[in-house]
Structure 1
Amino acid sequence: MRAFNKRMGFWFSAGVAIILALSGCGGAASNSAPTADTTAASPVQTPPGGESANQGSTSSPVTIENNGRTLAFAEAPKRAVSLSQHTTEIMLALGLADKMVGTAYLDDQILPELQEAYAKIPVLSKQYPSKEVLLSVEPDFVYAGWKSAYTDKAVGTVEDLEKMGVQAYLQQSSNMTAPGLEDVYADIEKIGRIFRVEPRANELIERMKNEIGQITDRLKDVGQPIPVFVYDNGEDKPYTAANNYMTKLIALAGGKNIFDDIPKGWTSVSWEEVVARKPEVIVVVDYGDKTVEQKRNLLLTKKELAELPAIKNNRLIVLPLSAASEGVRAPIALKTLAEGLYPEKF
């Protein structure tokens, strides 16, 4: 898998936990993705005054610590490029569309409330653009979710980009051990500072916290956490979440990742280990070459899994990769998990 460094397109129905039945689920110069329906509450709203991010006009220098590097911004970037869906959505949720000259690597459907702004931004590539394509739009700032973006096989190293006058920010919460919601908020706050839209960033963070609080309030009396297995991919050996962001979301939703004792973000395990830990619910990560229906069939027809409580009771929750990434969809992801684990509470 992995998961989060291999991105493939897939459709998203935001905020819907699918239990007992699963279904399968730009180099372009323009952007025209269709709109998806959503039943989950979203923390993202159109910023006051529309898309314009002119709220921060201060010329005071800003210094940011980012993954062991110090980035200094004499002024807010004017020509930004986002290189992953969750970083794109953070930019758009902060009303920064008019500061963006390109985007890339869409996992699935952009949040409906951000679609209009997104459609106006050029899609440079379905996956990572080449360095040449990136530089063709003359960016002064690039914002990636995953380390894989900043390699010679993608847009180039951060050192190479800086030599060409391009500041490179890497989503810290997506590239650390066991990140939590506070780490996601810290990234949003830093982007707000860089673009001089701190009030807007603070407002977004507060909305996310309020949405999450409303969900967790319903789970106060759920008792013993439900054992959960995260299935990402793999036939001979499953690839699963260990001690990572999804594990934190599962815990908030009243569950317990059965492999949270492994000191890695993602890891391969054996099916025998899965059986031994007796998960009562399986979270299926929706992305990649295999459809949800294919993943469902694999799990439901594997003989060694037949006696698992999750399989016997057909308790499978679909979580799109975009919701499982460290971004503005945290309330949507949490609600999806909580509804799947405790449907009686919603």
Structure 2
Amino acid sequence: MYFGIPRRPCSPSARSLRAPRVVAGVMALATVLSAAGCGTAGSPRKPEAGASSVEGFPVTVDNCGVRTTYDKPPSRVVTIHQHPAELLLALGLRDRMVGTAFPDSAVLPELRKDFAAVPELAKREPSFETVLDAEPDFVYGGYGSAFAENEGRSRKAFAEAGIDTYLNREYCGKKRVTMRDTYDEITTIGDVFGVPDRASALVADLRGRVDKAVAAVGKRPDVPVFVYDSGEKTAFTAGGKGLGNDLIGLAGGRNIFADLDDVFGDVSWEQVVARKPEVVMIYDYAGSGSVEQKKRFLLSQPALADVPAIRNKRFVVLPLTATLVGIRSAYAVDGLARGLHPESFQ
């Protein structure tokens, strides 16, 4: 079963950090609007002398150890990576976006027109100079690699250029990421951009979709799930710290490697066999082999032949983008619940 969102290539630097990546369908985004924000390195900005007050401001945000005070909403925004761009568009902030970069998956249908209207600065992370050429007052990064110091894009460098920055909270080093982080991200961005009502509406919509899926599954027994990202000699799988682990639990499943104290990690095939998963959830993204290639590999391994999920050819597919802190993750819960407990949706 495939839940509709096309696969995306992983950011190399993000994958090297074993970071998770966040299913199909998005609500009527025209009625739901907001976004999440992050501050720049350095000291909070002080209001300019004589500056007129803006309702709801100043707003102070602590983001990944950086504290920033906004005296007014950002008006010229560059996003690095696709999920921050989609979040801003879902909040109705197209008119404030002056550039985006690293479009790593097919854009959600409801957002294609607006996304296409935003200038694309680079196919991958843009250079510091390229971002400066867009003259932003705010840069919103999706993965930690958005602000790579070794490539000259540190948050400090942007701060010294007078530009505020915000990093998706997933990369703040929190112990465990859950759907609450998605809701908090949207709320924060809504506050930074002066659209808290839009953020509240979007959060309510996403939370309602998750709650509906959870209620449909009810108290049915959790289905043991093995996440297969990639790997042949060993299995690269999802551990207990990433958002994917929480999505599985909400959908009525149990990640068999939830005890892996990381977002991602390698496990042996012997461990997979011993834990007897009933479903294999395949992460789909460009650069790791197609879904069909992954299925063929798993089905061809004699050592896995007696694993219930393999014996019954029971696979579900989750685009890696659905495991990110962004607007897609709530839809992943519904899609996964339907794959793990189809009888609840008949």
User: What TM-score do you get using the length of structure 2 for normalisation?
Assistant: 0.84
Compared CA separation, residues 44 and 302, structure 1 to 2 (3 A): farther
Give the match for residue 284 of structure 2.
286
Compared CA separation, residues 340 and 174, structure 1 to 2 (3 A): farther
Give the match for residue 328 of structure 2.
329
Q: Provide, for residues 167-208 of structure 1, a one-character-per-residue CA deviation record: whole Å limited to 9, x for no partner.
A: 110111354332111111111111111110011001100011
Secondary structure of the residue aligned to 1:46 is helix
Alignment partners' CA distance in 2, 1:70 and 1:311? 49
User: What TM-score do you get using the length of structure 1 for normalisation?
Assistant: 0.84
Compared CA separation, residues 2 and 242, structure 1 to 2 (3 A): farther
The RMSD of aligned alpha carbons is 2.1
Unaligned runs of 5+ in 2: 1-9, 17-22, 34-52
Alignment partners' CA distance in 1, 2:219 and 2:56? 50
Give the match for residue 299 of structure 1.
298
Instruction: Tell me the amino acid that sits aligned with residue 247 of structure 2.
Output: L
Give the match for residue 39 of structure 2.
none
Give the match for residue 24 of structure 1.
none
Alignment partners' CA distance in 1, 2:238 and 2:57? 42
Compared CA separation, residues 4 and 160, structure 1 to 2 (3 A): closer
Q: Is the 8 A contact 1:146 1:170 kept in 2?
A: yes
Match of 1:46 among 24, 30, 33: 30
Secondary structure of the residue aligned to 2:157 is helix
Deviates more, 1:68-77 or 1:251-260: 68-77
Q: Provide, for residues 250-280 of structure 1, a one-character-per-residue CA deviation record: whole Å limited to 9, x for no partner.
A: 0000100001012111111111111111111
Alignment partners' CA distance in 2, 1:120 and 1:285? 30
Alignment partners' CA distance in 1, 2:161 and 2:219? 55
Give the match for residue 212 of structure 2.
214
Alignment partners' CA distance in 1, 2:233 and 2:131? 38
Alignment partners' CA distance in 2, 1:159 and 1:48? 33
Q: Is the 8 A contact 1:76 1:195 kept in 2?
A: yes
Match of 1:183 among 181, 184, 189: 181
Unaligned runs of 5+ in 1: 8-13, 16-39, 50-55
2:311 counterpart of 1:312? yes
Q: Is the 8 A contact 1:128 1:154 kept in 2?
A: no
Q: Is the 8 A contact 1:130 1:153 kept in 2?
A: no
Q: Provide, for residues 261-307 of structure 1, a one-character-per-residue CA deviation record: whole Å limited to 9, x for no partner.
A: 12111111111111111111011111131111211211111222111
Alignment partners' CA distance in 2, 1:122 and 1:102? 5
2:209 counterpart of 1:235? no
Identity of aligned residues (%): 39
Q: Report the CA distance between 1:58 and its aligned residue.
A: 2.8
What is the aligned residue count?
A: 308
Match of 2:272 among 249, 271, 274: 274
Q: Report the CA distance between 1:107 and its aligned residue.
A: 2.3
Instruction: Tell me the amino acid that sits aligned with residue 204 of structure 2.
Output: E
Deviates more, 1:191-200 or 1:75-84: 75-84
Deviates more, 1:148-157 or 1:274-283: 148-157
Q: Report the CA distance between 1:246 and its aligned residue.
A: 0.5
Q: Is the 8 A contact 1:145 1:171 kept in 2?
A: yes
Q: Which has the higher helix share?
A: 2
Deviates more, 1:150-159 or 1:76-85: 150-159
Q: Is the 8 A contact 2:226 2:281 kept in 1?
A: yes
